[in-house]
Amino acid sequence: MIPNSLAEWKQWAERFQTASLYYPEEFRAVANAMSEETFKELADFYVKAVHEKHVDRINAWLREAGGSVPMGQEEKAIRNLCHLFAHIAHGWGRGPFTDYELHSSKLCPPTPDWSKLPDEMRFLGEPAEEYYKFTYVFSEDGREHIQNQVTPQEIAQLSLVAEQVRRVGYKNIQAWWKKLGSHEHEEAAMVFNLMGVLDALDLPYYDPNS
């Protein structure tokens, strides 16, 4: 249950029905449909929430009551409100949202729900979660960082993953995470990162002829 200290968050989440938002285009549609009056009202709440350090309240609540799989509706509603703030920042390009002080990355990480993956891609869940410890940056420095950190045993495991990726088709996996949204869903971000790790290690995960 959302605590009284987050009552305003609950009200805004219900107003925008954020618990029902799933794909990036749904978030964009809500952000773009907002009136100027609503924008200003929400901006006032945003400034207040930053000033009163509401992120600390949210994280305390998430540590106590969050983490279920699948994600509970109340947790989803609050997390998705933070995702919506990011879409407002991108779509409107105006403060206070453009400071990203209430970005979802400031919240406790959600528990991954790998049922979001199609059955033929479920093999990605475990390695995606395990190798999220390597936050891959797509650059030569990022590649070198991965190469210097990974063990021979991990390379062997990731080689098997790369083989499975080729079998399923990298483009199919890419289509999945792009549709889901790597900003809106931690699972998509983890799978995207896993592909980066495979790439950094020059493992053959992509068939250019497929």
Q: What is the pLDDT of residues 54-86, one digit of tens each?
A: 999 999 999 999 999 999 999 999 999 999 999
What is the value of pTM for the model shown?
Answer: 0.93
Tokens (6 digits) for 181: 């949204």
pLDDT band at 4 (very low <50, low <70, confident <90, very high): very high
According to the model, what pLDDT value does residue 206 have? 87
> DSSP strand E in the chain: where?
none
According to the model, what pLDDT value does residue 208 have? 75
Q: What is the mean pLDDT of residues 89-107?
A: 97
Of 133, 42, 136, 48, the residue nearest 85 (C-alpha): 42
